Amino acid sequence: MKRLIVALLAGLTIAGAAPAMAAGKLSLDTTAVAFGTMKEGLVAEKVITLSNTGDAPLRIANVTTS
């Protein structure tokens, strides 16, 4: 009986941990963007592709630039 209880507890622990392993993963097509020297007031644009390569939804928040 003890073995059955231990086996059930182990199974429940593993089954409960499985959903926690799924996670979103952010992948970028580039990690740095350099515009070189620019005069103040000019506008420059660069497209960066972000992809979720994980196995769960990915939430992107608080995006900042430097």
- The first and second tokens of residue 55, run together, are 């196995």
CA distance 34 to 2: 64
Distinct helix (H) and strand (E) counts, the chain: 1, 2
pTM (predicted TM-score): 0.50
Beta carbons of 59 and 26 less than 8 angstroms apart: no
Q: How far apart are CA 46 and CA 43, in angstroms?
A: 10
Residues 36, 46: contact at Cβ < 8 Å? Answer: no
Domain ranges of the chain: 22-66
**Interval 8-53: pLDDT, tens:** 677 666 655 555 678 899 999 988 888 889 899 999 888 999 999 9
